[in-house]
Structure 1
Amino acid sequence: MSASTTLTAPIGPFPLFGYPLVVGPYGHLRAERDRLRGLRWQHFDARLVGATLGAEISGVDLTVEQPAEVIAEITQALHDYKVLFFRDQPLTPAQHVRFARGFGELEIHPALAASADQPELVRFEKGDNMVGVENAWHHDVTWRERPSLGAILHAVDVPEIGGDTLFADMYAAHDSLDDETRAEIDTLDAVHDFTRAFGRGASPEQQEQLRKQHPSVVHPVVAKHAVTGRKHLYVNRIFTEGIVGYDESRSRELIDRLARRADAPEHQVRLKWEPDTVAFWDNRAVQHYAASDYWPQRRVVERASIIGPRPSR
């Protein structure tokens, strides 16, 4: 068997769920990994922590207002590394919002609880009386016509064990697909629906009212990043309702098959939170997954999201 072989039949007792299993090196990651390892920065240091995504940034204090040249370099680093981690950043809510506003207009979420004094900050507070239910791969707010281009999450209180967040590279996920699948999905569109996540438990009348307030939107299955120009997968199990032109069964099969590309550890980086850790991710280039393994411990994080352009191909 060669160093990298694609198998289309089950190995031993393990089913392959109808899609090829790649064994051996993920060769499509090498060029990007080598490129990222060679990057250098003027205003801070960056240490690559994943194969193709994730860098720990040091030498910058987010509690003070950053000059335009630092904001510009952080923006470039975000586009390169896809997700940035800053340790020991004791941000107040006002400082958090000020930093986030440096990257664009902030969104206000219509359904999630906000911080007391900062409506742009979503506050996720989980513990023994409020369980975490975030454990599924997703891009944030793809039900918006203009989903967020990025999000900045600050850890206020974290459990001693558990509560990590995982990030998956959707460029690499796209590049890992076989030619036939890429050809199939390149011109497809998908419907994204607010009520898939935020209408659960609502009556049909309530769901209809929610759909009037937040109509479903259509985005490309494969979007082109507005800055880098790279193609990335843009469907997820939480908000993607179906594929335009496909029946329900065919839609779910394709959405699930594409969503599984985030499952490959080779496409991931994992963040273990500490108090006052800040994560800044590109909401187009990556999906994220909040591990819900810490109950009944307490976990409090606050998120500011920057409004982005409408996805396009």
Structure 2
Amino acid sequence: PPAASILRGVTIPPYGGDTQWTNLAAAYDALSEPLKAFLQGLRGEHRFSPPAGASPTPEYLQLIKNNTLVSEHPLVTVHPETGEQVLYISPGFLKTISGLRTRESRVLLELLWEHAVASEFTVRFKWEAGSIAFWDNRSTAHVAPQDIFALEYDRQLYRSTLVGEVPVGADGRASTALQGDPVLAAHGAAY
């Protein structure tokens, strides 16, 4: 998974399109102790796909089609620099919790995501042309705006993502690749 991402605003509508990020270390820390203990040994299956509503280039789509990427990551990771325990979830990538029944997995993931995006853990960024956002993917989750699809204005941003290290869980076990190799570069992908 990526270590960090940089997003640069180019064409920004006069309203809407704000981006949010959530602090997954703070979200994890705010969970009850029994729930934290339960999550410590769980792992989830992540599948990579383009962000919903994105307009990826044909080159980028072909890279993804030719290389389905599936990984199993701990639900609680340890940040490699700060040592913080981090809730490692993302509704766009985390599809199921390994070992749980389908309904158990779905309900727990809904609970965790609802908790993680609570206002006390999030920040909202209002874009202007030339704005740059830089975030740590190892301890935050990017919450893309949903209001942009109803706007009659163009919105164009460009994203660069920095390759990261293999996440390690609070239990000391590293993530594992189940299928595919990382897509390390795609030029000209509009976000």
1:296 is aligned to: 152
CA gap of 1:215–1:275, structure 2 versus 1, over 3 A, is closer
Structure number with higher strand proportion: 2
What do residues 120-146 of structure 1 show as CA deviations (whole Å, max 9, x unaligned)? Answer: xxxxxxxxxxxxxxxxxxxxxxxxxxx
Of all paired residues, the percent bearing the same amino acid is 34
Structure 1 position 253 matched with structure 2 position 107: yes
Shift of 1:269: 0.9
Segments of 5+ residues of structure 1 without an aligned counterpart are: 1-146, 199-209
Segments of 5+ residues of structure 2 without an aligned counterpart are: 53-63, 170-191
2:165 is aligned to: 309
What do residues 255-311 of structure 1 show as CA deviations (whole Å, max 9, x unaligned)? Answer: 111111222111111110111010000011111112232411111100100000011
1:231 to 85, 89, 94: 85
Structure 1 position 188 matched with structure 2 position 56: no
8 Å Cα contact 1:171/1:233 also seen in 2: yes
Distance 2:10 2:142 in 1: 19
8 Å Cα contact 1:152/1:280 also seen in 2: yes
Distance 2:109 2:15 in 1: 32
TM-score, normalised by the number of residues in structure 2: 0.76
Distance 1:215 1:292 in 2: 25
TM-score, normalised by the number of residues in structure 1: 0.47
When Rg is computed on C-alpha atoms for both structures, the one with the higher figure is: 1
8 Å Cα contact 1:196/1:241 also seen in 2: no
Amino acid of the structure 1 residue aligned with 2:101: D
Q: CA RMSD in A?
A: 1.8
Distance 1:296 1:172 in 2: 36
Size of the alignment, in residue pairs? 156
> Superposition pairs for residues 1-313 of structure 1, below 5 Å?
147-194=1-48, 213-294=67-148, 295-313=151-169
Shift of 1:253: 1.1
* Greater relative CO (CA pairs within 8 A, separation 6+): 2
